[in-house]
Amino acid sequence: MRFIDEYRRGDVAQKLAEQIARLTARPLKIMEVCGGHTHAIFKYGIEDLLPEQITMIHGPGCPVCVIPLGRVDDSISIALRPGVIFTTFGDMMRVPGSRTNLLDAKAVGADVRMVYSPLDALKIAKNNPGREVVFLALGFETTAPSTAMTVLQAARDGVKNFSVFCNHITIVPALKAMLDSPDLQLDGFIGPGHVSTVIGTRPYEFVAREYGKPVAVSGFEPLDVLQSVYMVVRQATEGRAEVENQYGRCVSRDGNRKALEAIFEVFEPREYFEWRGLGSIAHSGMRLKSKYAAFDAELKFEVPGLRVADPKACQCGEILKGVKKPWECKVFGTACTPETPIGSCMVSSEGACAAYYNYGRLSKIVERSA
Partner 1 sequence: MCLAIPGKVVEIVDAENHIAKADVGGVRRNVNIGMFDEGEVTVGDYVLIHVGFAMSKIDEHEAEETLRVLKEIGEYEPEVEQFKTTLQ
List of residues contacting partner 1 (CB under 8 A): 1-4, 6-7, 12, 15-16, 18-19, 22, 34-36, 61-64, 89, 91, 116-120, 138-140, 142-143, 145-146, 149, 192, 194-195, 197-198, 219-220, 223-224, 227, 230, 246, 248-251, 256, 258-259, 262, 348, 350
Angle 205-209-212 (CA atoms, 0-180°, nearest 5)?
115
Q: How far is the CB of 256 from partner 1 (least distance, A)?
A: 6
Rounded least distance, CB 250 to partner 1, Å: 5
Q: How far is the CB of 30 from partner 1 (least distance, A)?
A: 17
Smallest gap from residue 227 Cβ to partner 1 (A):
6
Shortest spacing between CB 237 and partner 1, in angstroms: 13
Give the shortest CB-257-to-partner 1 separation in angstroms: 9
Beta carbon nearer to partner 1, 4 or 306: 4
SS3 214: coil
Identity of the residue, 98 or 146, whose beta carbon is nearer to partner 1 in the bound complex: 146
Nearer to partner 1, 92 or 327 (CB): 92
Burial 82-93 (b: 16+ CB within 10 A, else e): eebbbbbbebbb
Cα–Cα distance for residue pair 28/183, rounded to 1 Å: 16
Q: How far apart are CA 343 and CA 65, in angstroms?
A: 8
Q: Smaller CB distance to partner 1: residue 117 or 237?
A: 117
Q: Please give the Cα distance from 154 to 135 (Å, whole number).
A: 12
Q: Please, which residue, 252 or 365, has the CB nearer to partner 1?
A: 252
The smaller minimum CB distance to partner 1, of residues 8 and 307, is found at 8
How far is residue 102's CA from residue 136's CA, in Å, rounded to a whole number? 11
Rounded CA separation 138/223 (Å)? 29
CB 325 within 8 A of CB 318: no
d(CA 43, CA 28): 22
